[in-house]
Structures are given as C-alpha cells and as structure tokens.
Chains A and B, each alone.
Chain A
C-alpha cells in the first residue's frame, strides 16, 4: 500500500504569491544599478530578472513584498513604495 508519496514539479509556478503582499512593493529605480545581481540572488521567490545595468525588475505576480532586494541593494536603487 502506498500513501501520498511523490509531488510533481512546477507547483510553485501555480501559486501566485503576489497575493500575499501587504502594504509595500519594491520599485526598481533603474538609475544607479551596477548589475551586481544581489537582488536577483536574494529574492526568495526567484522572481527578479535582468542582465545589464538598470534593466532589473520583478514579477509582481510572485513578489511577496518582503523587501530583501531593497535591503541588500548596495546602491539604494530599489525602493519599497506603498502598495496601491
């Protein structure tokens, strides 16, 4: 007899964690970015993308508004703004 044993991959794609956001969301200013990728690496939802300087942004369908990207940005180029 077997119980629930195996999960198929891809379930995190179906869970739109953006709905968890309250109060604040990150705004990518794209002014002083040096493309260090720290925001992309620290994002717990892996929803930040970008390659060149001043091209980074996030997918608000998944961004939980945790603020880690704004916190780690060495150039203060990400700002947490009020959710509207």
Chain B
C-alpha cells in the first residue's frame, strides 16, 4: 500500500513486517525516529516484540547479539558515535556468524561534533564482516531491510547486514513509499530458523577462544562467504523484484552508462542529484552517466568492471575519507580496475562531509574537473578562507 511517509517511519513499518522478536537500541540523532516509532508500536501492541531499553549502544548491540544467538530475529539501529561505540560488538556479531540487521542512519563523526550527514560512520566499520547496503531513496532504504534479513539468514551465509541511509536526507525526508502486504513479506521472508542457537537443554559455546591453529580459518570462511554472497544477493534481488514488482535491490544500478564517456560512481542519496545533472548535461550533448553502488560489502568488483570498462573517465564521489589516504570507495574502484586490460582514468573527490550540501553545481564541478587531469582526493566546495597555515587565536569566523 502506498503511503506518504517520513523515511524513519517507513523503515519502522518495514521492520514491523519483518517480525523481530527482540529490538534493542539507544537513541541517537538522526536514528531516533526509527526506534521511537518501533517502541511505540510495541507499547501499543501493534508489534509483538520485546523492546529492551539499554544504557548505551555497546549494550544495545550486545543485547541483539545475545538475542539472535538464542535463535530469534533481532533488530537495532544507530548513527555516528553510537555505531562507533558498537564497533567492538559489530566485529563479534560477524565473527560469531549471527544474522542480524542494523540500520545505520549515516552521520559525521566527532570531533568537531556534528549531527549532519556523511558516510564516515559506516565506512569506519566496513571491515567488520557485515554486509553493507546503501540506499538512494526511502523506498530503497525500506526494501533493503527485507533483502538484508533474507540474505543474512540464509543457511549458507549467516552474516549480519547493515542498511545505510543518509541522515536527514532520507531519515527525515518524506516520500511516497510502497509498504508491502504482510503475506508478500512472509513469502519473501519466512520466519527465522536458526542453524545453531544457545539452548540450556543442548549447551554450546559461541565466540570461544580460537588460538593461532584455528583463528585464520574463521576469517577465511568470512571472506569466502562474503564473496559467495554476491551471487545470492543477485538471485534474491530478482526474487524480490518479482514478488514486490519493483527493481530496487540489485548490486549496482547503471544510469545511462552504456554509451557514456564520463561516469560518476557514488553511494547513497547523492545519486539522485547526480542523475539530474546527468540528464541536464546529456540534453546539451555530453555523454555522462552514473554508476550507483548499492551493495558495498561484499564489493561487486566484477560487475563494476563490466559496467564501466568502456568509459574514458571515472570520478568517484566519497562522503568519507580514510584520513592520510584517500576516499574508501575511490580506493576500491581503483583496485577493481588495476591490472585489467582497459583502465579508464579514475579520479577521487571528497564531498559533503558533515552535511555540507552537495549541489547541482558541485556535481557539475566534478564532471568538469574529471576531464582535466586525474585527481586522487580532491575536496570539493572547500572554503579556503576558513583555513590558516599557522594557528591563529581567532574564532575562524565561527559564531561566538
């Protein structure tokens, strides 16, 4: 049924349809509306789930770890500092092969404290063994949760999935969203059947000590499973599209790339803006395109190579940076092309950190600069007047 919903509300409605037995979360801007909504659904008796209030995100992640280990479907959500506080537990959840779904409502990391959107938080935990999906719009954000549970709980996968949606832009934006009927959801996502679980009648130990004789195999298994999961995600995305009659869950989305000479690669909601710029520039004869990455971990390197091997230039937009290095997506895209027969010129741009608006003109600047010479971590829309070479005892123009 089509509804006019705030992004957070849409996610809460989808999670309700996923029927988690346990929800635990700690409120943090801009994730709060999702868990507030779920808490009220539980309190009103609309959702038969146990909502566990906790004192921190570390505890929230620990509660859902424990819950899913007992064989129940569980859910949590966080942002920014909260996700970073969870990070120890996130690595454990993946290492213990527990199929959880977490919504990361993307927000910048301190310091300085900033509650606005970029992708630094989820990028900081990209190596944890979680699957990572990035949504462009609210419909996709909602749908990726269904796909997330379906893939995570597959008997051959058993890994957690993180659905990333841009803070405010998607979490507080309002769009028309199709919230599916429960029978369709149950067809796509049956009740969770745990392969292994904590049970006092049949005790076992999860997350036990693995010395140098055993540890490396557990990591190898994670790596192989993540690589294998690419094919399964493709298959399940097709099932999804058939059942729900829409095409929102592929590994990547190619937007006018077939005959393009210059293509931007990006994650998340900025793709909507880029599509508008592509259309505008195509109207005046420039062959531009966009490649949107939906599934970032596992990284669909082969699919990206096939989609872009014919283009002349690629510009990668990162709303995060591995400080002292480059943008994380830029590094991955370069790695995907290294040593291949045809390698386009690849440039990296850092944009939109801490909620700095990425405007139509910002994207046009990228399309212009990528044609000039290759760049590796070029900051766009930087205010040079705020930067000083040496420390100065001033407010740097910030309000007193």
Interface size for A (C-beta < 8 A) is: 9
Q: What number of residue pairs across chains A and B have CB atoms under 8 A from each other?
A: 38
Interface positions of B from 310 to 362, Cβ below 8 Å from A: none
Nearest opposing residue in chain A for B214, CB measure: A4
Of B208, B214, B228, which is in contact with the most chain A CB atoms at under 10 Å from its CB? Answer: B208
The answer to whether A3 and B218 have CB atoms under 8 Å apart is yes
Q: List 27 A-B contacts (CB under 8 A).
A: A1-B220, A1-B221, A1-B224, A1-B228, A2-B97, A2-B158, A2-B221, A2-B225, A3-B214, A3-B218, A3-B219, A3-B221, A4-B210, A4-B214, A4-B218, A5-B96, A5-B97, A5-B206, A5-B218, A6-B196, A6-B204, A6-B205, A7-B204, A7-B205, A8-B204, A8-B205, A9-B203
State A4–B209 Cα separation when bound (angstroms). Answer: 10
State A4–B217 Cα separation when bound (angstroms). Answer: 7
Distance between A6 CB and nearest chain B CB, rounded to angstroms: 5
Interface positions of A from 1 to 48, Cβ below 8 Å from B: 1-9
Query: With contacts A5-B96, A6-B204 known, what are 9 further pairs, Cβ within 8 A?
Result: A1-B220, A1-B228, A3-B219, A3-B222, A5-B97, A5-B218, A8-B204, A8-B205, A9-B205
Find chain A residues with CB under 8 A from B158 CB: 2
Nearest opposing residue in chain A for B217, CB measure: A3
Distance between B298 CB and nearest chain A CB, rounded to angstroms: 13
- Convert B186-229 into 0s and 1s, putting 1 for each residue whose CB lies closer than 8 angstroms to a CB of A: 00000000001000000111101010001001111110110010
State A8–B208 Cα separation when bound (angstroms). Answer: 10
Distance between A61 CB and nearest chain B CB, rounded to angstroms: 22
Contact of A9 with B204 at beta-carbon distance under 8 Å, contacts A3-B214, A3-B217 already known: yes
- Convert B56-98 into 0s and 1s, putting 1 for each residue whose CB lies closer than 8 angstroms to a CB of A: 0000000000000000000000000000000000000000110
Find chain B residues with CB under 8 A from A6 CB: 196, 204-206, 208
Of A1, A5, A6, A7, which is in contact with the most chain B CB atoms at under 10 Å from its CB? Answer: A5
State A12–B192 Cα separation when bound (angstroms). Answer: 33
Nearest opposing residue in chain B for A11, CB measure: B205
- Please provide the 4 A-B residue pairs with the shortest distance between their CB atoms, ordered closest to farther: A3-B218, A3-B221, A3-B217, A7-B205
State A2–B228 Cα separation when bound (angstroms). Answer: 12
Find chain A residues with CB under 8 A from B219 CB: 3
Find chain A residues with CB under 8 A from B96 CB: 5
Distance between B256 CB and nearest chain A CB, rounded to angstroms: 38
State A4–B158 Cα separation when bound (angstroms). Answer: 14
Of A1, A6, A8, which is in contact with the most chain B CB atoms at under 10 Å from its CB? Answer: A1
Interface positions of A from 22 to 81, Cβ below 8 Å from B: none
Find chain B residues with CB under 8 A from A9 CB: 203-205
Nearest opposing residue in chain B for A8, CB measure: B204
Find chain B residues with CB under 8 A from A3 CB: 214, 217-222
State A7–B214 Cα separation when bound (angstroms). Answer: 12
Find chain B residues with CB under 8 A from A8 CB: 204-205
Distance between B201 CB and nearest chain A CB, rounded to angstroms: 12
Distance between B156 CB and nearest chain A CB, rounded to angstroms: 8
Distance between A79 CB and nearest chain B CB, rounded to angstroms: 34
Find chain A residues with CB under 8 A from B228 CB: 1
The answer to whether A1 and B225 have CB atoms under 8 Å apart is yes
Distance between B151 CB and nearest chain A CB, rounded to angstroms: 15
Nearest opposing residue in chain A for B227, CB measure: A1
